[in-house]
Amino acid sequence: MVNIAVIYYSSTGNVHALAQAVAEGAGAAGADVRLRRVAELAPPEAIDSNPAWRAHADATADVPEATLEDLAWADAYAFGTPTRYGNVSGQLKQFLDTTASLWASGELADKAVTGFTSAINTHGGNESTLLALYNTMYHWGAVVVPTGYTDPAFSEAGGNPYGTAHPSGAGAPGETVLTAARQQGDRLARIARRLRGEVDR
C-alpha cells in the first residue's frame, strides 16, 4: 500500500478534472489517495472577472487545501497545473516554494512524482510546462515518472510523453484524456510500490 498526494491548481476546471482522474487511477491501483488543491492567490476581482473561474472556485471550495503534511504523508506525488505562458502557475509554484524545510530534511527525495497540465492550444506550452514543473522535482532528488509511451492510452490522448496534457480550446477533458490521466495515476501507484519494494514489476 502506498500513499499518493494529487496536488493541483486549476482556475477553470480542466486541470481539476485531470486531477480527479489521476486520483481515481491511483486509487484503483490500490493507493491511499489525497486530492488537494493549492491555495488561490488571485484577488477576488480577478476571479470575478471570469465567470468560469468564479464558478469553479465556488464549486471546489470544499476540496481541502494542500499542506506540507500532505507531502510528508505521501510516498508519491502527482502535481497538476494549467500552463501560464509555458510555465507552472504561480499558485502551484508558491506552494512548491514553501517546501524548503521538507527538502532540507530529505523528505522529498526518492519519492515518485509525475505531472499533468492543460493549455488552450495543443502547442500552447503543455510540454514546456511539464518540463518546468519537473525542474523542482529534480532538485528534490525525487524520481520523476513520465508517462512516456508506456500505454496506448497516452498515445491516444495526444502522445505527450511528459505527462497527460489537455488542450482545453476543444472543450473540457473527454473520455480519451481522462483515461490517460487514470492510467497515469495507475502508473504512479505501481512505480511507487516498486520503489517501496512491494511488487517486482
Ligand X SMILES: Cc1cc2nc3c(=O)[nH]c(=O)nc-3n(C[C@H](O)[C@H](O)[C@H](O)COP(=O)(O)O)c2cc1C
* Apex 27 CA angle, 21 and 133, nearest 5: 55
Residue whose CB is less far from ligand X, 29 or 119: 119
136 binds ligand X (CB under 6 A): no
Quick one: how far is CA 108 from the chain centroid?
16
Residue whose CB is less far from ligand X, 12 or 164: 12
Q: Which of 25, 31, 38, 82 binds ligand X (CB under 6 A)?
A: 82
Return the residues of window 160-179 that contact ligand X according to CB under 6 A: 168
User: Rounded to a whole number, what is the largest CA-CA distance in the chain?
Assistant: 52
Residue whose CB is less far from ligand X, 8 or 77: 8
90 binds ligand X (CB under 6 A): no
Q: Which of 63, 67, 86, 107 binds ligand X (CB under 6 A)?
A: 86
On the 0-12 / 13-18 / 19+ scale of CB atoms within 10 A, 80 is buried
Compute the least distance from the CB of residue 83 to ligand X, in Å.
4
What nine digits make up the cell of 127? 510540454
111 CB neighbour count, 10 Å cutoff = 22
